[in-house]
Amino acid sequence: MENLHFSQLISIQAKRYGEKTAICRREEITDEWDEISWNSFAMQVDNVAKAFVEIGLHEHERVAQFSQNMAENLIVDFALFSNRAVIVPLYATSTVSQVEYIINDAEIGIIFVGEQYQYDVAVEVSKKSKFLKKIIVFDRKVVISDIENSMFYSDFLKLGEKSTRHFEVEHRRNEANEEDLACLLYTSGTTGNPKGVMLPHSCFNEAMRLNTAVLTSITDKDTSIAFLPLSHVFERTWCYLCLFIGVRIYINLRPMEIQQTIRDVHPTLMCSVPRFWEKVYAGVQEIIMQYSPHMQGIVAWAIATGKKHNLDHLRLGKKPNLLLALKYKIADKLIFSKVKEKLGIENGNMFPTAGAKLADEIALFFRSIGVPIVYGYGLTESTATVSCFDYVGYEIGTVGTIIKGVEVKIGEDNEILLRGKTIFHGYYNNPEANKAAFDADGWFKTGDAGIIKDNYLIMTERIKDLFKTSNGKYIAPQEIETRLVLDRYIEQAAVIGDERNFVTAIIAPTIPEVEKFAKANKINYSSVEELLKQPEIYNLIMGRIKVLQSGMAEYEKIKKFTLIPKSFSIEAGELTNTHKVRRAVIMQKYKFNSPLEKYNN
């Protein structure tokens, strides 16, 4: 299926798999999983495609999806591809102003929404936009206020079921080609307006070819959970790959439900961002700390055995000797299998993670206990994967091996440059950004700095995030932040230091852990705000920071910090929709002296 156009993919897979389950979904975490077969999937794609013709959708027209992860997202995607139309995914948490900008920039007339929040935002946008005319609602529980311009998805689907416009859809499918624009994916930048990344079908086709060549252990016997938002290029491309291979996909509706979903599904595959594994790691470490000294010794022995077995031998393609194999089997039975079963990841085939810095300590730990984390690097503009851990020979401290088919070189200021068929075709309606994004030879400038060593890619920093202290020293804040959030007392951190003579940080502590500490140390307080003003809490966090910063250069170390009672959020504008820190916003918000300033001096 190497050259198969996505407009044909689902119907071809339906002929191959028939009544085999393609997608599973549920409305509430207490509900049973509803299974959608390949035949049903293909039929719904056809009916939605015909419904689009009925309402006058044109070829190459752009249609938005503004929803949590739902099976309907994928059905609508492939119905649009069947009509040579373009999907424009929006993050479910986007604000009115964010949605309005994209609707007007891409001149979108039709938007699909998930639940009440997305519907209400879409209605507000429709009042001001000259483009948005129709809102189609996935969730039947939504209270519709704009009756004239709104309809439920179930009614839209029925419109297609009754339609006789099959020949128009087939004609469009037959005319579809790989240069057609498939997806217009707006990046949630840390500064300025988002930019619409144009990904034609050729990018996705090449991504399917390259990834199936590299990820050879994935088969149609696998199961995957769609956990990251489908508006994220990582999850979107991953789900397309799963459908391309025939993997069963479980749709996780709400991110907060993911731990229960994993325990219910026991997936073999799931992509995530490093923050997910940071939280799992912190949870496991917390459990280990509660063990007796004797049990902690057994755990330490088991992890050391796992490292020797999995990293010192299997990673290098060497067969462990009988004694080491026996020790590992005992370690797995006593410790590793119990941890993995409790988490629901005991069937793991591959757990790709990308999108931010993954601490070497975390990669080493999970690989040692037999959890197949596959760390990688990619961007929206590269249709996700540029590099990833290989099955054998991967190197901790890198973002993996550069995959065949993507050209990578290091340019000025150590910037990673990309070229190849998976690289996007420019930013929509943005000639200035396009001019800045490519060099004279057509290499895409990623904005990330790195090193290539023996075909391994090593990420060093995000160039735009680098700041220079007043002493002239360059600091990579993400590297420091990655260390800090490993600690159970630190939920989030934003490192600040531009034009200062020392590095500072805004820290959102893990409140439940801080409250436990306060109780154990008999610290009295009437509110979280008051608790964070106590010198004992400042000394606690500073002590943790000093340990975490061990081995760092003196000029990189945090000298002062501010504790805040509420975590950074998308709603407050402190995080992008992909949970990247908006450093400028945070700097502006917390520019005044902290109540802890008297303790910081």
| Per-residue pLDDT tens over the stretch 320-368 | 999 999 999 999 999 999 999 999 999 999 999 998 889 999 999 999 9
Cα–Cα dist 389/391, whole Å: 7
Is residue 595 pLDDT above 50, yes or no?
Answer: no
How many whole angstroms separate alpha carbon 530 and alpha carbon 189?
35
Q: What is the pLDDT of residue 21?
A: 98
- Residue 598 pLDDT: 38
| pLDDT tens digits for range 283-305 | 898 889 889 999 999 999 999 99
Coil/strand/helix, residue 389: coil
The pLDDT of residue 593 is 43
Tokens of 47: 């009916």
Report the pLDDT averaged over residues 190-206: 89
| Better-predicted residue by pLDDT, 329 or 572 | 329
What is the arithmetic mean of pLDDT over 565-588? 83
**pLDDT(468) > 70:** no
pLDDT score at 190 = 56
Residue 400 in contact with residue 407, Cβ under 8 Å? no
For 516, residues 6+ apart whose C-beta sits below 8 A from its C-beta are none
Please state the rounded mean pLDDT for residues 457-462.
89
Spatial distance between the Cα atoms of 302 and 369, rounded to a whole number of angstroms: 8
532: number of Cβ within 10 Å: 22
CA gap 479, 493 in Å, rounded = 11
- The CA R_g of the chain, rounded to the nearest whole Å, is 25
Let me know: does 577 contact 94? Beta carbons within 8 Å: yes
| Percent of the chain residues past pLDDT 70, beyond the cut | 96
Instruction: Copy the structure tokens of residue 306.
Output: 């796992």
Supply the DSSP symbol for 189.
-
Say whether pLDDT at 499 is over 70. no
Residue 250 has pLDDT above 80, yes or no: yes
User: Of the ranges 180-194, 198-212, 215-229, 462-476, which one carries the lowest mean pLDDT score?
Assistant: 462-476
Q: How confident is the model at residue 139 (pLDDT cuts 50, 70, 90)?
A: very high
496 or 22, greater pLDDT: 22
Per residue, the 3-state secondary structure of 12-62, as one string, reads HHHHHHCCCEEEEECCCCCCCCEEEEHHHHHHHHHHHHHHHHHCCCCCCCE
Degrees to nearest 5, angle at CA 46 with 143 and 187:
65
Write the pLDDT tens digit of every residue in 371-408.
999 999 999 999 989 999 999 999 999 999 999 999 99
pLDDT at 55 over 70: yes
CA–CA separation, 409 and 390 (whole Å) = 20
What is the rounded average pLDDT of the residues 69-84?
98
**Which residue has tokens 């939280």?**
279
Angstrom distance (rounded) from CA 222 to CA 400: 23
| Residue 231 zone, left/alpha/beta (φ > 0; ψ -120 to 50; rest) | alpha
Res. 281: pLDDT tops 60 = yes
pLDDT at 220 over 80: yes
Say if residue 594's pLDDT is above 50. Answer: no
Task: Judge whether residue 506 has pLDDT over 60.
Answer: yes
**Closest among 525, 556, 537 to 594, alpha carbons compared:** 537
CA–CA separation, 157 vs 566, rounded Å?
43
| Sequence-ordered strand ranges (E) for 359-472 | 373-379, 384-388, 401-402, 406-410, 415-420, 444-453, 456-462, 467-468
Give me the chain's average pLDDT, please: 92
- The 10s digit of each residue's pLDDT in 151-187 is 999 999 999 999 999 999 999 999 999 999 999 999 8
b/e 107-116 (16+ beta carbons within 10 angstroms → b): ebbbbbbbbe
Q: Which residues, in sequence order, are bridge partners of residue 198?
A: 184
Predicted local confidence at residue 586, as pLDDT: 86
Work out the burial of residue 247: count CB atoms within 10 Å of its CB; fewer than 13 is exposed, 13-18 middle, 19 or more buried: buried
Check whether 591 has a pLDDT greater than 80. Answer: no
Report the side by side order of strands in the sheet with 181-186: 150-152, 134-137, 110-113, 62-66, 86-90, 181-186, 196-200
Q: What is the pLDDT of residue 498?
A: 66
Q: Please state the φ and ψ torsions of residue 3, each to the nearest 5 degrees.
A: -105, 15
455 in Cβ contact with 448 (< 8 Å): no
Over residues 103-132, the mean pLDDT reads 97
The reported pLDDT for the residue numbered 582 is: 82
* Other residues' Cβ atoms within 10 Å of the Cβ of residue 432: 8
Residues 252-276 have pLDDT tens digits of 999 999 999 999 999 999 999 998 9
183-207 average pLDDT score: 89
pLDDT at 121: 97
> What pTM did the predictor assign?
0.88
CB-CB contact of 444 with 423 (8 Å): yes
Please count the CA atoms within 13 angstroms of the CA of 59 that sit on its side-chain side: 14
For the stretch 516-522, contacts whose Cβ atoms lie closer than 8 Å and that sit 24 or more positions apart, written own/partner, are 517/489
The CB density around residue 171, as the number of other CB atoms within 10 Å, is 13
Report residue 576's pLDDT band, with 50, 70 and 90 as the boundaries: confident
Task: Say if residue 317's pLDDT is above 90.
Answer: yes
Over the stretch 511-553, which tens digit does the pLDDT of each residue have? 999 999 999 999 999 999 999 999 999 999 999 999 988 888 8
Residue type, 586: I
Do 352 and 374 contact (CB within 8 A), yes or no? Answer: yes
CA distance 523 to 521: 6
> In order of start, what are the domains of the chain with their CATH numbers?
6-176 (3.40.50.980), 276-348 (no CATH), 466-600 (3.30.300.30)
DSSP class of 350: B
Predicted confidence at residue 505, as pLDDT, reads 92
